Structure formats: structure tokens, C-alpha cells
A and B are shown apart, each in its own frame.
Chain A
Amino acid sequence: MLLKMKTRNFNRGVVTVAAALMLMACSKDFLEVPPKGFYAETNYYQNETQAFSGLIAVYDIMKKQAGGFENMVAMLNAGSDDFYAGGGSSTDGAGIQGFSNYTIGPTTIPISFWSDFYQGISRANVLLTKLPGVPMDENNKARFAAETKALRAYYYFQLVNMFGEIPFYTTNLSQDEFYTIEKSQPAVVFAQIEQDLTEAIQGLPGTINLATEAGRFTKGAAQALLGKVYLYQGKNAQAVPLFAEVNGTPGQTNQYGNKLLANFSDLWVISNKFNTESILEAQYTNKSGSIWENWGSGADEGNSLNQMVGPRGYTVTAGSSAPTYYSGWAFNPVTLDLANAMAGDPRFASTIADITPLVAAGTANYSPAYKDTGFFLKKFMPYLADRTTEAGTPELNFRQNMYVIRLADTYLMEAEALGGTGARAQALLDAVRARVGLPAVQVSLTAIYNERRMELAGEGHRWLDLVRTGRAATVLASRGFIAGKHEHWPIPLKETENTKVTQNPAYN
């Protein structure tokens, strides 16, 4: 009997414990694991710091200029008559090779050239929706909004230039719109770009504290960009006053403190960031510790173009005086066409590295890679000493900034918008030439186009210039450019599958 009692008590104990555990099992709280290390969207954009962080995420896409393997400058250079794709072989980067020889198609166009800009646009849309509700300094709020609009305009401008008709929206798509949105005409997109930039100009500061803010949009940058947007549409009359605001008196310091650098070669000194000639600049650093796994991602702040353009296997003979270029991947080899065209131009030495004489003299050697010409894009070729000693993969952590728009460019754009005639156009052209010690030539569109090619070689402008001025079909015929097709890139295949987005003409 005693034993039985004990057993019963024991049983009761077990049952109680089991019951308690079952209650625990049924409690929802027990199953709540708090999210840590990231924000829930509902709790974000609550103060100025968070709004600023949201703004930075919009700026992130500016790095597309030269960040990651799939960057704008290497790609645009490869499609122009001034450069080949190059690299290790004809299959080193199917996208860049395909653009270089005009075999690019919906499967070879890297999707990031499309989706990265849309990510920027989507982030801008979110921030513009959230900003009015953020408790923060109103001046800063206005500035943030202006910057966001300027960035959105820039990203749409990139998309509309490269792809033509594109899906377009200023409020982010809801889930049921993901597959139903159709492409918009470029005119619709341009109208929004103009509106965004016009509004941005109102809210942007003319000058900023470069020590802490360099990299952020300024009024001058937005004006220059809007001028460029007008110029690309042939709205020259609207472009001229904007460029005039930015350019001021040719050769003199403008209202924002911009002035052509005295020495052309100083433009390519890596530490010379945000100099007076810079209007809009994409910033890179060697401090983000980029590794292959995050190459080209938002956390990679390195300049990949630097790594890409150097000669392969470049070695300097011991004791020789040959420049100690850093060995790269031999992308964007300079065509003989450009090298010949620049022969004798004072800018040659800063623009093109001619390795052949060094090899002939036995002072240096390199492995000729695909489409090797012996000429390399010197503007972005780092030296061995520029290789980072910071954390991360050295190849991915170069730090040269990229000019998106610089004063010499806006001089020439204004001259062009003026029709390539008149005293001011002449003065603008002269100023660009005088800076490198070249004599004046009679201003004309041809002279301006030629000057752009010499001055801006390798900075990603040439292909766009050829297309917008209608010269591409002629100049790029030998590359395989087909008029009516290659003015735009094909839309990545994935974007036209399961959606209402149609492929660009002639790419089907």
C-alpha cells in the first residue's frame, strides 16, 4: 500500500511537469525569436540618421561607374572604337566581349547593368515616400530629397540611354504589378528625369564641405547633369543656360569654385580626389576590405576598373627604369585607331601606356592577352605602389575615383549645345585645348567631337557620343554595329520571361 501511494505521487509529479511543459509548448511567446542585427521595415526611417543611411543606400549605385567586373566604364569603352574588350580570351566576360564585337544578346548582357540601377531607383522611391514622415531637420530633409531625386534621375538616365524603352515607375511596384508593368517611351522617362533634376537643383547646396561630404550631389552637378540630359535629347536651347551656370567664364573659376586643373596629368593622380575640375564624381576606397565573395556588391567600395586595365603579367627587369605598373587583367586595350589619332597629342602620355618600347628595350615584359595592341588605358592604370596593404583582396581594393562629369566635359558639351559656333563656343573649346598647351582651332561640331575623343578618352563617353550624334553606325561598322539595333543594349532575357516587357528591336 505504501509503495502504491508513492507510485501515485510520483505519477502525479510527472503529470504536473508534463502539463507545465505542454503549456509552454502552446505558448506563442516561446516561439518568438526576436530579429536581431537588422531592422524591421516598419521600425525604420525613424530619425535623421536612419534617413541618411537610406540616402547612402541610394548613393551606393554610383559605384557602378567602375565598381565590380560589370562596370559602366569598362563596358562602354569596350563597345567604342577606342578600345576592345580584351581580357584573357575571347570568352573572358561574355557580356563585355559581346558588346565589343556586337554579338551581345539577351543572354549575354549582364543583368546587373539593368537591375543595379533599378535597385537605386527603388531605394530612392522608398526614401522619397518615407522622408516626409521622418522627424528631422527640415533643411536636411529638403537636401536629402533633392539628392535622392538627382540620383534617381541619374539612374533612369543611365537606363534610358542604354536600353531605350524601359519599365518606369516612381512609386515602387506592388507585388501584383511585378509581372504586369509594361515599358514606357523614353520621352516619358526623360520628362521625369528633367522634373527630378529641376527640383533637385532647387534643394541642393552650391558648395559642400569636401572634407566630410565629398561625393554628395551639389547644385552644379545637378545642373550639369540636366544640361547633359537636354543635350542627349537635342534640347540644346534648354541645355545651354544650365551649362553656362556650371561653366562660368571659360578658363576661370566658376561660381562653385570649379576650375580646370592646370596640369592634365594631375587629373589622374589617385589622391587628387574631388579636385576643382570635378563636377560629379564616383568615389572608391581601399578601406572596405572587399573580397571575391562580395565583389561588386553594395559593400564593395573598391575600383575594379583599375585592376582590369593593367597589362597581364607585367614585370620590370631588375634595375631598369621602366614604370612599375601593377599587373592587371588586360581589359580595354587601346585600339591602334585611338593610339594613332592621339599621336602627338600632349594628353597621350596620360591617357595611353605604350608598353611595346619597354619590351623592345628589355626593361619590362608582359603577357600579351586577348586583342593585345601593346597600348593600355593609362588613366586608370595603377602602379605597384597603389596596390592596397589594407585588409581584403588586393585586386578588389583600388581607390581611384571616377569622374562622371568634369569641367572639361561640360565646356565641350556647352560648346556643342551652342551648335559648335560662336565666340563662347570657341572660348570653351580653346580653354580645353589651352590647358594642355594646344593651339586654338576653329570651333565646329567636328572639332568639338574630336576634342571630346582626345580629352575624355577612356572615361566611358565615346560610345554614347557616337550613338547620340548618329555617327555610331559609320564609325563602328567594322565592329559589327547595326543601325536600328545596337543603339541600345538588349534587355536581359530574364526580364522578358514571365513579364510583359518586350525585347528591344532586332534582338529577338
Chain B
Amino acid sequence: MKLLKLRFFYFVCLLFTLSAWAQDGTVNGVITDESGLPVPGASVMVKGTSTSTSSDIDGKYSVQASPSSTLVFSYVGYSNQEIAVGNKTTINVSMAASAQNLDEVVVVGYGTQKKAVVTGAISSVRAKDLENVPLTTVGQSLQGRASGVYVAQNAGQPGSSATIRVRGITTFNNNDPLWVVDGVIVDNGGMNFLNQSDIESMEVLKDAASQAIYGARAAAGVILITTKKGKAGKISVNYNGFAGFSKAARRLDLLNATQYGTLRNEAYANGFSGGTFRLPYPNAASLGKGTDWQDIIFNDSAQRSQHEFSVSGGNDKSTFYLSAALTDQEGIVTTEISNYIRKNIRLNSTHKLGKYVTIGQTLGYSHEKSKGLGNTNNEFGGPLSSAINLDPETPAIVTDPSTRPNPGDYDFQYAVKDPNGQYYGISGASLNEMTNPLAYIQTRLGNYSWADNFVGNAYVEVAPIEGLKFRSTVGAKLAYYGTESFTPLSYLNNINNVQRNSLYREQNRNFGWNIENTVSYTKLLGKHNFSVLGGQATYIDNDRRSNGVTYYNQPVNNHHDASFNWFTVREDILGWASTGNKHIVTSLFARATYDYNEKYLFTGIIRRDGSSRFGDNNKYGTFPSFSLGWVPVKEDFWKENKVVTNLKIRGGYGVVGNDNIGDFAYLATVGGGRNYTLGNGVGDNPISIVVGNSPNAPSNPDIKWEETAQTNIGFETTLFNDLSLEFDWYKKKTTGILQPIQIPGYVGAPGAPLGNVADMQNTGVDISLTYRKQLGDFNLSVTGNGSTVKNEVTFIGNDRKFNTGPSFQSMGPITRYEIGTAINQFYGFQTMGIFQNQAEIDNYKNAAGTVIQPNAVPGDFRWADLNGDGKITDEGDRKYLGNPLPKFTYGLTINLAYKGWDLMAFGQGAAGNKIFQGLRRLDLLNANWQTAALERWTGEGTSNTYPRLSTLDNNKNFTRMSNFYLQKGDYFRIKIIQVGYSLPSDVINKVGLAKTRLYVTAENLFTFTKYTGYDPEIGGDVSGIDRGYYPQARSFMLGVNLSF
């Protein structure tokens, strides 16, 4: 019976359907995106008919459709939705972003390409991925969001840049990728001038087949940034603002005063070698907790705020995008001397002049002012290093200097006082550069740096016939930057004191410009789709003028009153100036692409560059590439199925270059500054410094481009419609790496010549995944990516066994590389536990029975005698101890939306690397320790990992580079958690708002790591070296988005 009823219902329905042709009604509705914003321009089609319309500026549409018909809603970047009309007259649709978007366009250099036909390896980050994310600098936005790109902050200091590596380390030289903003190469002076929310998209060209269009400068990767443009239609006004506070996520466990005194006494007693026995702290127990210097430097309520405002719109002739932003961030370490302010303005516009000609421009201006605390990762002073190394016995503020070990320190006229007239404590422990951070702050209040950047371009595009385009672009970056500082008379301790104050100003102007002319033609002949691009370009950069001046002996001693306007005698004025050497590159390039029905794909690129940095022998370099793709799902034999809904297989090979080597390396030059002083200076006879000139490093007129050849094979696929996957395998080989040929000191050269001597190879895999699903009102998207990289040095030059990297004090170089290793591996001695008693020392012998460490005493490290020669030597007993660069980096973003609510969680991490923890100065035996020292060896069985403390470290337990200083650097960090709520549109529409969203953000909420320092994410030329690293802050922010 039930069944019958149903059948009858179906029959009726069928009848209705049949009659629907004649009975169209009007269906209205609003199309919105997942966050509730109207989607203008979305297409609404009645399925199976030619009837269609598109939504207006408010996302509203109206279409004639019969109740039996089905409406198909589609919009670029979103999944199509089909909704049966039935008896509804209003259908409101919430579009969900699609996992697979075949119409998506990517920027490929001198043009764009449909993602469906791209054959190279390109990672894209879209504005949508970054919206509302509290990013201060552009580099951060790539972290964890683009596969194949490794990003590590260089410091937690606000406004500081990040180390960015595309597919590993490409060269021994500069590995910074080439940045191209709207076609302007801006690789000098950092990227801070960009405001995050002005960015429409960022594309990372990862393989040579994509990079080749930037030829000689592309080897370390190319990052293309496109800023936002206006869209025709109603003027849209947006505001995004947030404010919050930052704090340190973690502190070190340092000894308190009693513990410190006890260990100092112990080290003294262990190292005592005659004379009068005098413990440094006879009453260590009475010292109490002492000063927690970390309390003094860290600010747990550092303010942070950002305001971004944009207006965009236009009509069919002209569009514009206008924005302004203000970023204000305080640092979490000694905030008074660590903060950052940036102001941005941007105007982008396009105008159609008649039928064939379009002109446009982009122009961004930024002003930055940043105060830096000096050393953000340096063991020689600054607040961080001082807080770690300063003895806790010294009070932060001293009320009665006569009670201090060295009361004479306070007799100096310029010993620094607090506002109440009390002295800041001066350590009596002879700690060289380690000074009271409070006093140090007072000496740097007048120091800051500033920058004004103008970056923009203007272009004219002529399209006289369909498919043919001429385009000329002129781009420029004009940067003014400088520093101001006042160094007051001060006495911080006996070696850090200023007995002559000075006011310093430095100003630089750096100009770079380029002109690019391209002609392109695209033609579709049946299913054959051709396009060709030819172009010419000239780039000139480093047109720099710099000067600085110091005025000594200011009549005032604080930065407020210091001024260049005080009358200053000539002898007290010291100036300098310098001029940059222009860097000129001229280029010719061409690209051809072909596809057959988007099924068989081909791209070929060739570029020829000439660079002013090479001599006549090798001025020009040619860089070719090609890549192929195949889309098997388009083949007839491919059975349509629900598992694999899209698949593209692609591969390519190409060669790119690097000329980032400095100027005039090809010339044999004579340099000055090898001076000597003549004259006896008696009476009026001047003692004159005569400038001495002598040859510089031996020259190499034959130096040429480094070449990086890369093979890339990958595929893109969409599975079950919801999951898209991109996979790339690459192998890149850099040959002829320019490096100083390390010549022996006995050659007598003041430097080393450059040569194309070394080769290196990187292999790796990049994977990115996107999963999107809409379940009713519930929207889910998960995107993730992971990258592996394996680096191998394959040649370092004739007659060379290895090269070394950065040093740590008297340890000398702590990294090394040679043929077969990865670049800059930690290198040192291997500890094998600690000698617990004399018998163990006596029994520690090599095969021949030689006692290996006869001079060791119990509590010393047992060093591995790697070459078995019965002694421990630098030459024979050091080995590779780990890699500072992660083998694996990954990122994961989860977006959830339900009705007005949204949640975003973003995490990223790195694995497989080691960190060198050099927080305690080797030469400051009186420096404080971390609490790990409490677990030191003090007798048989007490420790097998932390040696005894002694001021006489004859076994070099602490002064040798060894695995003792290395820790695992793996981490996973929940970078961002954000929860937002958008007010219902019927509420806000009444007050004229299109969208109102409130959100809270937590940044760097959790970091999972075993590393014991402040922060496992440590950038730098060689990453993973912690010398007292300024950690990234944990921040909590409240924000609001408004759209009108």
C-alpha cells in the first residue's frame, strides 16, 4: 500500500516535469561564500537548457525556471552545486570552495597559465589562505603553506625577516629566492614593504622548467607576488583589524643565586691549581634566589595591533584597488628597544583606453620604523645572551654600592641609574659583554632604523587582434633606509663603557628598475592550442648611495636632547660615504606552450642573460627548459569513475643560473687600507697615516654562471571528487658553484679567489593535499603539505677535502662538508659517557694498549678515539654529528565552518635536524648555567652525560665541539588557531554592512619539541645554531572584519 502511494507520487511528479516547460516561474536567491559574503558574478544555469544568469554585486540572482528543473550554481574556485527547484521560489546558496578547480589560473612569469595545462612545479598561496592571519612579514605566509619551501624565522624580533629556501640549499652562495612583485624584481632590501592583505597570490616556481623564464637569477627559486586589483562592479569597502598581546612561550631553567654560587665554588675547587684558596662565594647558601634576569628582559604583555582598510571597485573601463594599513608590534624581549611599526599605502589601477589598449599601474609605499635590541642570535652580548649568562647574584638594582664586590664600578660618573636614582647592578663576575639588561636598555633608547619603500610598475598592453598582445612594463623600487642612534656616556662594566657620547645618522638610497617588453600570441586551432611569448628585459639594481655621520661629544647625554644642531667642533664630526656598484642584467627570452585538448601538454622556455658581474670571457649564459604533461582522464580509453576524477602527469627538465656573487670577482684588483703610520709627531710634525695598497685576492677572469639543472616529475590528481593531491619528485644538480677557493694562509693573499669549483645535488619530494567537503551547513577543508629534501655535496674542488662553516668562539668551525655529505653538517668530537673513576681512565685503551686519555680525571668526558691511534686529536677524532637543516618540513591547515561560525587551525613543523645550543659562553667561566648543570658529575655514578665543572677544563669537556652541544630540533607548532563568528546578514544588512565577523586568534599556542632552548625554529645562513635566540612570541588577539 505504501509502495503504491509512492509510485503514484512519482507519477505525479513525472507529470509535473513533463508540463514544466510551459510553467516556468521566477526563482530568486542570494549566493554567498562559506563565510557568508555575497558572491557576485556566479553563474546560475538551468540544467539541460541554455537559460542562465549570473549574480549581481550583492550576490543576488533571479532566473526563470520550472519547478521540475534543477539549478546549477557555479563559480571559479568553488564546487558546483545542483539544487532541484521544486516548489521553491527562493533558493539561497552557500558555495563551498572546491578541491579541484580546473579553471584556476596561476602566474607563471610574464603571464598566467590555466592550472589545468601547467606542466611545471608551482606552489601557490592565495589571498584566501591568508585572510585574517596575523602575519607581519611576507616570508611567514609561505611557511607550512607551500610545499617545497622551507621557512624559518631569523628572530622573534618584530619585523625581522625569515630564511626562505626553495627545495633545499642550491648553492654555497646566496640561497635567497628571487622575489618578483607585480613584475618588479625586488630582491634587495627585504620584503617588509608589502602588506599581507594586499597580496592576491604568491606563486613559488620550484622546478627549472618553471624558473627558466627568470634564467640567470632563478636557481634558488622564484617567488612571484601579485597584488590585488579592483573588480568591476559595486565599490567594496573592507576593514580588518585586530589587537592583542604577546608573551614568551617558554623560558630557560637557569640557576638561582645559591645554586650558581655553589657551582661556582665547585668549579673553582676542582680547578684550583695553587696559590691562596679563596672560594668565590664562601656563603653560597645565603645568596637565596637572586635575580631572575629572564624576568627582567621578557615582557608578557607586549602589545600588538594591525589595521587594514581597503576600497576597491570600478567599471568596465577602469578598476582600482586602494588600501592603507598600520601594523604596530612590540617585542617580547626588552620591549623598550624592540618594536616595529609599519604604515602602508597602495593604489593599483587599470584603464582601458579604447578598444585595444589597456594601461595599468601598481604602486605601494611603506614606512617602517623598527627598534632592535642589537643581538638577536649572538653570544656576544645583548639582553638575551646577558640574561642567560649573567650571574644571578648581582641585583638588578643596587641600593648600596658599598655592599657590592666592586664598589668602585659605581664610582664611575656614568654608571647607569634608574629613574629613582638607584644604580643598576653591575656584575662583579667579569662577564665581558654580558651587562645588566636594564642599563643596556638605557644606552640604546635612541637607536632605531627606518625605511621608506616605493615599489611599483606601469604597463601598457596593446591587443590589436585576438590572441596577440604587446606589453611593455617599467617597474622600479626606490628605497630609502637608514638608522639613527645615540650612544650616551655610560658605564655598564669595566669593558663596556662609553667615555665619549655620540650621535649617529646613516642614510641610504637604493634604486633599481627594470623594463620588460613582451609580445605574446595565443591561438586555438580546433583542439590545438598554441601560445608563444617573446620578450626582452633589462634590469639595473644596486644604484645605491649611502652616507653616515657621527657627532661626538654632545653637550647632553640623553637621546631626547641629542641633536645634530648642537654646535660641534670639526674634530668631533666623523663621516663616511659609499656608492654601490650597479648590477646590470640584460635578457632575451621566449616561451612556447602547446596543448591538444588540454590532454597533451608542452612548454618550452629559453632565456639568454648577460650580467655585469662576469668578465668578457663569460658574460652571457643561456638557460633552456622544457616540460611535458599528459592528462589520461581525457583519453577515450579512460573509463569515467568516481575514484579518480582528474589526473595529470607531468615532467620537465631545465637549467637555470645564479649570478649572485658580488661585483668584480673576475678582475685582479689592488686594495687599500693596508696602512702604516710615519713621522715622529714631535712638535708640530703630524703623525700621518699613509694608505698602503697591495693586490687583493688572486683573480679569476674565467668565472661564469653557476648552473642548476633540475628534473621534475609529478602528478596532480583528484580522488573521490573531494581530495586533490599533488606530488612532485625532483633532482636538481648545481654545477660550477662559485666559491672562494680556500687558499692556504702561506700564499699571503688577503682574501680568496672565486672559482666555479663545486657541485651539489638535491633530491626530494613535495606533496600537497587538499580535502574539501560540504555536509549541509557544515563546511570542512583540510590542506596539508610535506616536503623532503636530501642534499649531497658532490664536488668541492680539486685539492680540497672539505669546507667549513660558522664558528663558535674558540671551538672554531662547528660545521663542515665534503664530498658525499650534505652541506654544513655539524662536525666535532663524539662523547662516550663520562669516566666514573680512575680505573675507567686507565682501562680506556686502543687496540695497541695505549691509554687514550691519560690526563683525564674522573668526571671528564670519554672521547671516542675514532681513528684508534690512542690519542684524541682534532685531525683524527672528529666526525659528522648531524644536520642543521630539517630533512622533512610540513604544514597542515584545517578550516571548519558552520553557519556563522568558522574555525581555522594551522600548524607546521620540521623534523630530522639538530640544533647546536651555544647559550653559555665558553670563555666566561663565571657565567650562569642552565639547571641541567645541577645534574653534573659530582662523583661516581652521578652522571654519564654532564661532565664535572672545573675552571681548568684540561679535558676540553666544554670547549670542544661535540655531540654534548647538539639536540634534536624536531618540532611541530600550532601556529594559529582562529575562531570567528559572522553576524547573520539580515541583522547587519540593516546597518549597511555586508559582512561583520568577529574573531579571536592565538598564535604559536603550542610547540611540541624536545629542544630545551627558547625556540626550535632558528633561521640563518646555517640554520639551527642557537647563540641566545630571540624566540617567537605567543600572541592572543581579538579582531574584526567589516565589509560594506
Residues of chain A within 8 A (CB-CB) of B667 are: 35, 40-41
* B678 engages A216 (CB within 8 Å): yes
* A89 engages B676 (CB within 8 Å): no
Residues of chain A within 8 A (CB-CB) of B687 are: 273, 283, 285, 287
Q: Which of A111, A115, A288, A391 contacts B748 (CB 8 A)?
A: A115
* A53 engages B586 (CB within 8 Å): no
* B610 engages A25 (CB within 8 Å): yes
Residues of chain A within 8 A (CB-CB) of B464 are: 7, 10-11
Across chains A and B, the number of contacting residue pairs, with CB separation under 8 Å, is 307
* B515 engages A301 (CB within 8 Å): no
Residues of chain A within 8 A (CB-CB) of B812 are: 107
Q: Given A28-B610, A115-B748, A122-B749, A498–B679 Cβ distance below 8 Å?
A: no
A residues 285-339 touching B (CB-CB < 8 Å): 285, 287-289, 297-299, 301, 312-318, 327, 329
Residues of chain A within 8 A (CB-CB) of B691 are: 53, 56
* B584 engages A57 (CB within 8 Å): no
Residues of chain A within 8 A (CB-CB) of B500 are: 389, 394
**Bound Cα distance A107, B462 (Å):** 66
Closest to B574 in A: A391
9-residue interface stretch from A90-98, A137-145, A409-417: A90-98
Residues of chain B within 8 A (CB-CB) of A298 are: 673-675, 692, 750
Q: Given A36-B581, A91-B925, A118–B746 Cβ distance below 8 Å?
A: yes
A35 to chain B: closest CB distance in Å? Answer: 5
A63 interface residue per 8 A CB criterion: yes
A106 interface residue per 8 A CB criterion: yes
A349 interface residue per 8 A CB criterion: no
Chain B positions 671 through 701: 1 when the CB is less than 8 Å from some CB of chain A, otherwise 0: 1111111111110010111111111101100
Q: Given A31-B611, A213-B678, A215-B678, A387–B499 Cβ distance below 8 Å?
A: yes
* B694 engages A178 (CB within 8 Å): no
**Bound Cα distance A54, B408 (Å):** 48
* A327 engages B494 (CB within 8 Å): yes
Q: Which of B430, B472, B519, B954 contacts A367 (CB 8 A)?
A: B430
Residues of chain A within 8 A (CB-CB) of B753 are: 175
Residues of chain B within 8 A (CB-CB) of A315 are: 406, 408-409, 411-412
**Bound Cα distance A22, B518 (Å):** 11
Residues of chain B within 8 A (CB-CB) of A40 are: 667-670
Q: Given A123-B694, A493-B875, A37–B579 Cβ distance below 8 Å?
A: yes
A398 to chain B: closest CB distance in Å? Answer: 13
Closest to A384 in B: B499
A420 interface residue per 8 A CB criterion: no
* B693 engages A54 (CB within 8 Å): yes
- Interface residues in A, total, Cβ within 8 A: 117
B23 interface residue per 8 A CB criterion: no
Chain B positions 120 through 159: 1 when the CB is less than 8 Å from some CB of chain A, otherwise 0: 0000000000000000000000000000000000000000
Closest to A32 in B: B612
Residues of chain A within 8 A (CB-CB) of B677 are: 215, 283-285, 287-288, 301
B10 interface residue per 8 A CB criterion: no
A residues 347-391 touching B (CB-CB < 8 Å): 364-367, 369, 387, 389-391
A154 interface residue per 8 A CB criterion: no
A501 interface residue per 8 A CB criterion: yes
**Bound Cα distance A237, B437 (Å):** 64
A136 interface residue per 8 A CB criterion: no
* B406 engages A367 (CB within 8 Å): yes
* A495 engages B670 (CB within 8 Å): no
B799 interface residue per 8 A CB criterion: yes
Q: Given A56-B690, A90-B952, A179-B799, A210–B682 Cβ distance below 8 Å?
A: yes
* B584 engages A28 (CB within 8 Å): no
Chain B positions 923 through 945: 1 when the CB is less than 8 Å from some CB of chain A, otherwise 0: 11110000000000000000000
A469 interface residue per 8 A CB criterion: no
B616 interface residue per 8 A CB criterion: yes
Q: Given A18-B519, A54-B693, A313-B494, A33–B462 Cβ distance below 8 Å?
A: no
Residues of chain A within 8 A (CB-CB) of B875 are: 106, 493, 508
Residues of chain A within 8 A (CB-CB) of B668 are: 40-42
Residues of chain A within 8 A (CB-CB) of B74 are: none
* A92 engages B693 (CB within 8 Å): no
Chain B positions 558 through 580: 1 when the CB is less than 8 Å from some CB of chain A, otherwise 0: 00000000000001001000010
**Bound Cα distance A119, B890 (Å):** 49
**Bound Cα distance A44, B799 (Å):** 32
Residues of chain B within 8 A (CB-CB) of A498 are: 742, 744, 799-801
A499 interface residue per 8 A CB criterion: yes
- Interface residues in B, total, Cβ within 8 A: 103
Max chain B Cβ within 10 angstroms of own Cβ: one of A62, A120, A327: A327
* B676 engages A283 (CB within 8 Å): yes
Closest to A330 in B: B430
* B670 engages A41 (CB within 8 Å): yes
Closest to A3 in B: B355
* A273 engages B873 (CB within 8 Å): no
9-residue interface stretch from A165-173, A260-268, A422-430, A437-445: A165-173
B1013 to chain A: closest CB distance in Å? Answer: 22
A372 to chain B: closest CB distance in Å? Answer: 9
Q: Which of B537, B679, B699 contacts A215 (CB 8 A)?
A: B679
Residues of chain B within 8 A (CB-CB) of A287 are: 677, 687, 689
* B694 engages A126 (CB within 8 Å): yes
* A289 engages B574 (CB within 8 Å): yes
Residues of chain B within 8 A (CB-CB) of A367 are: 406, 428, 430, 494
**Bound Cα distance A285, B151 (Å):** 48
Q: Given A7-B356, A391-B574, A89–B538 Cβ distance below 8 Å?
A: no
Residues of chain A within 8 A (CB-CB) of B519 are: 14, 18
B922 interface residue per 8 A CB criterion: yes
Closest to B493 in A: A313
B432 interface residue per 8 A CB criterion: yes
* B694 engages A54 (CB within 8 Å): yes
Residues of chain B within 8 A (CB-CB) of A62 are: 676
Chain B positions 431 through 449: 1 when the CB is less than 8 Å from some CB of chain A, otherwise 0: 0100000000000000000
B582 interface residue per 8 A CB criterion: yes
A230 interface residue per 8 A CB criterion: no
Residues of chain A within 8 A (CB-CB) of B538 are: 21, 24-25, 30
Closest to A52 in B: B690
* A90 engages B925 (CB within 8 Å): yes
B residues 459-504 touching A (CB-CB < 8 Å): 462, 464, 470, 472, 493-495, 499-500
Residues of chain A within 8 A (CB-CB) of B571 are: 390
Q: Given A41-B670, A121-B748, A283-B677, A91–B952 Cβ distance below 8 Å?
A: no
* A288 engages B689 (CB within 8 Å): yes
Residues of chain A within 8 A (CB-CB) of B270 are: none
A459 interface residue per 8 A CB criterion: no
Residues of chain B within 8 A (CB-CB) of A92 are: 923
Max chain B Cβ within 10 angstroms of own Cβ: one of A216, A298, A299, A301: A298
**Bound Cα distance A492, B494 (Å):** 33
A residues 120-134 touching B (CB-CB < 8 Å): 120-123, 125-126
B536 interface residue per 8 A CB criterion: yes
**Bound Cα distance A90, B500 (Å):** 32
Q: Given A25-B610, A53-B690, A53-B693, A178–B747 Cβ distance below 8 Å?
A: yes
* B470 engages A11 (CB within 8 Å): yes
Residues of chain A within 8 A (CB-CB) of B588 are: 22, 25-26
* A495 engages B430 (CB within 8 Å): no
* A89 engages B799 (CB within 8 Å): no
**Bound Cα distance A164, B549 (Å):** 48
B521 interface residue per 8 A CB criterion: no
B242 to chain A: closest CB distance in Å? Answer: 41
A473 interface residue per 8 A CB criterion: no
A243 interface residue per 8 A CB criterion: no
**Bound Cα distance A122, B746 (Å):** 9
15 A-B interface contacts by CB (under 8 A): A33-B583, A62-B676, A63-B676, A103-B954, A119-B748, A125-B748, A167-B746, A211-B679, A283-B678, A314-B408, A317-B408, A327-B494, A365-B406, A498-B744, A508-B875
8 shortest interchain CB distances as A-B pairs: A122-B748, A315-B408, A115-B745, A57-B692, A56-B692, A94-B810, A298-B674, A57-B694
